[in-house]
Amino acid sequence: MAINGYVLGFDFGLKFIGLAVGQTITKTAGGLTTIKARNGKPEWTEITAIIQEYNPAAIIVGLPLNMDETESDMSAKARKFAKELERRFGANVQMMDERLSSWTANEIKRDAVRGGAIHEKSACLILESWFNELD
């Protein structure tokens, strides 16, 4: 099944959740916002507004695996968050390995990213990785 249109990327975290938006035609992504969370629980009204605005064809949630590809406690929490997105919005939610996205975003931070935008950049990298797997 081909996915066409906007795609939202989420970099799930316990304190912050980064969001990015991408377009399947151009296979590009840009940072959107960072939402505060309490123990991984976001303000759902903010996410609802974004989903209503973009009406995404898919939602991609970063899956924080260990370097040996095993799942961690955060993996389970990210999966739970993804299932909640699916339940609330009936969306096509997919998981994407994010092992290197936060590390890469931190490397880029010195030149291009300031403050909370690190979470948005990580979400961009998650989406870009997902786009690369479509090829």
**Host domain of residue 75:** 6-134
Could you give the CA distance from residue 60 to residue 119 in angstroms, rounded to a whole number?
14
H-only helix segments in 26-116: 44-54, 73-89, 101-112
Helix, coil or strand: residue 33: strand
Check whether 77 has a pLDDT greater than 80.
yes
Give the largest Cα separation in the chain, rounded. 39
For residue 119, pLDDT beyond 50: yes
Q: Is residue 20 part of a domain?
A: yes
Question: Can you give the CATH number for the domain in which 84 is found?
Answer: 3.30.420.140
Mean pLDDT of the chain: 88
Q: Is residue 109 part of a domain?
A: yes
User: Is residue 1, in this structure, part of any structural domain at all?
Assistant: no
Residue 23, domain member (yes or no): yes
pLDDT the model gives residue 105: 52
The count of domains in the chain is: 1
Report which of 22, 44, 40 is spatially closest to residue 32, judged by C-alpha positions.
22
**56 within some domain:** yes
